[in-house]
Amino acid sequence: NAGVTQTPKFRILKIGQSMTLQCTQDMNHNYMYWYRQDPGMGLKLIYYSVGAGITDKGEVPNGYNVSRSTTEDFPLRLELAAPSQTSVYFCASSYGVGFYEQYFGPGTRLTVT
């Protein structure tokens, strides 16, 4: 049981490049989330999904896109990378909302230069 896995662990992008951050969970959770954490800040929600085929914007969605074609996978796409997207990105999943704990992946450290 791997939980939530993310790839890659590290990435350096040049301004204007694009990339996809991969996230997979094996707990059969309906809910999945993408967060970013900037230095000295809490986690901010980028996008979330309540099930396959259903996604919605979080607090900071600009510059990102997501898709959810299966229960297991929730990739995050960065188009036209900008220095402001330099951050650590965490994917998470949960059985439900509110009371239910979220399980986090190990994170992807992204630098845009």
- Interaction site with other proteins (CB under 8 A): 4, 33, 35, 40-45, 48, 58, 90, 92, 97-99, 101-107
Select 80 or 97, whichever has its Cβ closest to other proteins: 97
Nearest to 34 by CA among 4, 82, 74, 71: 74
Q: How far is the CB of 1 from other proteins (least distance, A)?
A: 15
Select 4 or 112, whichever has its Cβ closest to other proteins: 4
The Cβ of residue 32 has, within 10 Å, a number of other Cβ atoms equal to 28
Cα–Cα distance measured from residue 28 to residue 9, given in angstroms and rounded to the nearest whole number: 23
Q: How far is the CB of 49 from other proteins (least distance, A)?
A: 12
Select 42 or 79, whichever has its Cβ closest to other proteins: 42
Q: How far is the CB of 78 from other proteins (least distance, A)?
A: 19
Is-cis flag, bond preceding 8, omega within 30?
yes
Instruction: Report the C-alpha dihedral over residues 92, 87, 82, 72, rounded to 10 degrees.
Output: -20
Length of the chain counted residue by residue: 113
Q: How far is the CB of 86 from other proteins (least distance, A)?
A: 17
Select 87 or 102, whichever has its Cβ closest to other proteins: 102
